[in-house]
Structure 1
């Protein structure tokens, strides 16, 4: 991996395993990352443009304040990773898992989560525009103070919102999803439902 304030162009990072790695503020352009295992490491403030990530694991550590554009992430997992303040533009995630990932204050535009699992992800204060979740499971997600525009959740195979249900303005859901979310909507509105 390049040193801080360096850049990498058209590079392949294959089979890298690292703990406590610090590559803050690095610019990656047209790079490929294959079968990485990165633990408790920091990429804070780094930029990823036209990159491809495959079969990689990110455990704890931070990708906070990073920017990603025109990129694809495939069959990868993120567990306990700090991604607050991340900027995603034209990014597709295929068959990825996000477990307890902090997306607070993230900015996402033209982002697709396809066949992904997002468990206990926190989108508090995030801005999502033209984001979709085709074939994905979203469970226990937090949407407090989120701003949505043209967000399509109809393709989600599971949709469970832990908090912030009242902030779903700007999202499109199916009638069945509406029924499943009805108790959460009632709680958010302070409505008691009793026999």
Structure 2
């Protein structure tokens, strides 16, 4: 069963060490701190990070399919156009990060929190979000096609132009979000909307149903 309860935070490591600047396929990285580290443009698959901290870390343009993140914290980092397809994350906290064009399609996220992040044009197709919270994030143009969002919560987010076609929405929560121009509105059965968001959503729904709203 999907959960919309607040995500559990990462379990902090008892001690950490400074990380190197490379990544190997099928590499296991535990209790490391990536501090102002440039990992952009790399390719590695099936990488696993456990209790790692990423601070002002650049992974822009890297390709890391089937990566697993457990008990990790990401802060003030640039992960733009990072490809994390078919990966997973559990107890992940992401704060104040640039992630434009991030691709996590086919992934499973459990107990993940994204706060004050730039997540526009991101790809969440076929993802499952279980106890995942987005707060004050720019998700404009994000693609949630076929995603399981029953365990997702969006608060104070910009979702203009986001796509929700065929997404599982029952129980997904939206509060004080900009929902202008979203796609796939007919998939929103069972979603929970704050009253403040209802007006913008009603215009989108009317358009999807071919209803003409007369303007005075």
TM over 0.5: yes
Q: Which residue of 1 aligns with 2:49?
A: 28
Q: Which residue of 1 aligns with 2:15?
A: none
Q: Which residue of 1 aligns with 2:101?
A: 80
Q: Which residue of 2 aligns with 1:148?
A: 169
Count, aligned residues: 194
Q: 2:179 aligns to what SS in structure 1? A: strand
Q: Which residue of 1 aligns with 2:210?
A: 190
**Is structure 2 residue 84 aligned with structure 1 residue 56?**
no
Residues 146 and 164 of structure 2 are in contact (CA less than 8 Å); yes or no, is this contact kept in structure 1?
A: yes
2-side partners of 1:174 and 1:18: how far apart? Answer: 40
Q: 1:180 aligns to what SS in structure 2? A: helix
Name the TM-score, length of structure 2 as normaliser.
0.84
1-side partners of 2:28 and 2:199: how far apart? Answer: 49
2-side partners of 1:19 and 1:32: how far apart? Answer: 16
1-side partners of 2:183 and 2:87: how far apart? Answer: 26
Q: Which residue of 2 aligns with 1:163?
A: 183
Residues 44 and 65 of structure 1 are in contact (CA less than 8 Å); yes or no, is this contact kept in structure 2?
A: yes
List structure 1 segments (4+ residues) > 6 angstroms apart after TM superposition.
none
Task: After superposing the two structures, state which structure 1 stretch, 146-155 or 106-115, moved more.
Answer: 146-155
Q: 1:25 aligns to what SS in structure 2? A: coil
Deviation at 1:19, TM superposition (A): 3.1
2-side partners of 1:6 and 1:119: how far apart? Answer: 34
Deviation at 1:83, TM superposition (A): 1.6
Cα-to-partner distance string for 1:76-123 (whole Å, 9 max, x where unaligned): 111122221121101011111102111111110100111211110000
Cα-to-partner distance string for 1:9-47 (whole Å, 9 max, x where unaligned): 111111112332012111111111110122211111010
Q: Which residue of 1 aligns with 2:25?
A: 4
1-side partners of 2:124 and 2:181: how far apart? Answer: 15
1-side partners of 2:198 and 2:135: how far apart? Answer: 21
Residues 43 and 64 of structure 1 are in contact (CA less than 8 Å); yes or no, is this contact kept in structure 2?
A: yes
Q: Which runs of 5+ in 2 are unaligned?
A: 1-21
Q: Which residue of 2 aligns with 1:174?
A: 194
Q: 1:60 aligns to what SS in structure 2? A: coil
2-side partners of 1:53 and 1:40: how far apart? Answer: 17
Q: 1:182 aligns to what SS in structure 2? A: helix
Q: Which residue of 2 aligns with 1:129?
A: 150
Name the TM-score, length of structure 1 as normaliser.
0.93
